[in-house]
Amino acid sequence: MSPTTNDQVLRLFKESDALLQGHFKLTSGKHSEWYFEKIRLIEKPAALEKIVDLLVEKIKAESPNFEYVISPAYGAIAIGFLAALKLGKKFAFTQRVEEKMSFRSGFSGVDGSRAIIVEDILTTGGSIHEVVAGLKERNTAVSGIFVLVDRTGGAVPIEGKPVSGLLALKIEAFEPDVCPFCKMGIPLIKPGASDKKV
């Protein structure tokens, strides 16, 4: 991907307020320059649509041949559904049933088809691994794996399949005593703190 496209995607994420730049205290206690609020993506469909349009172009270029777009519940459902609509493909989602990633029985057409997986943010890839395993059980070929944001800074293949990220952004987190943003005196923000009723 050209740097221009990465910048373009970064700008769209910032516009949707899904990606905040500043000085944040993460739930781990570490500090970071970036904070993702992925709920903002589905909260603003018009902003999400612009991002999905770019994802759709990437999918068309890299994995043109498949019948289904599959997304794990819940955050990626809107993203995968919108991509499927624009691509003229079918859509299905997986959900956890007693800890196991499963398909609703109504999605029987997935069996034996070709599918791509669309996920919102790649961090460890755990959910995608489970979806790939579920598709294997159904004799469904995985034609591609796509994520809006690759936070790993260069995704490793999952089950031998390359992962294609629209935005690659490695998010560094610092212990407070070595945090460069603390040293610069930038005010620390604790995301979500304003939501909590005392």
In the complex with Zn ion, the residue whose CB is nearer, 35 or 146, is 35
HEC string of 14-81 equals HHCCCEEEEEEECCCCCEEEEEECCHHHHHCHHHHHHHHHHHHHHHHHHCCCCCEEEEECCCCHHHHH
Task: Give the x/- contact pattern for Zn ion in 136-175, rule: CB under 5 A.
Answer: ----------------------------------------
* 81 makes contact with Zn ion (CB under 5 A): no
120 close to 82: Cβ distance less than 8 angstroms = no
Task: Provide, rounded to whole angstroms, the least separation between the CB of residue 192 and Zn ion.
Answer: 17
Task: Provide, rounded to whole angstroms, the least separation between the CB of residue 22 and Zn ion.
Answer: 10
Number of residues that bind Zn ion (CB under 5 A): 4
Which of residues 67, 182, 189, 191 is near Zn ion by CB under 5 A? 182
* 189 makes contact with Zn ion (CB under 5 A): no
In the complex with Zn ion, the residue whose CB is nearer, 73 or 189, is 189
Give the integer Cα–Cα distance in Å for 91 and 142: 14
Enumerate residues 6+ apart whose C-beta is below 8 A from 77. 71, 93
Residues that bind Zn ion (CB under 5 A): 31, 179, 181-182
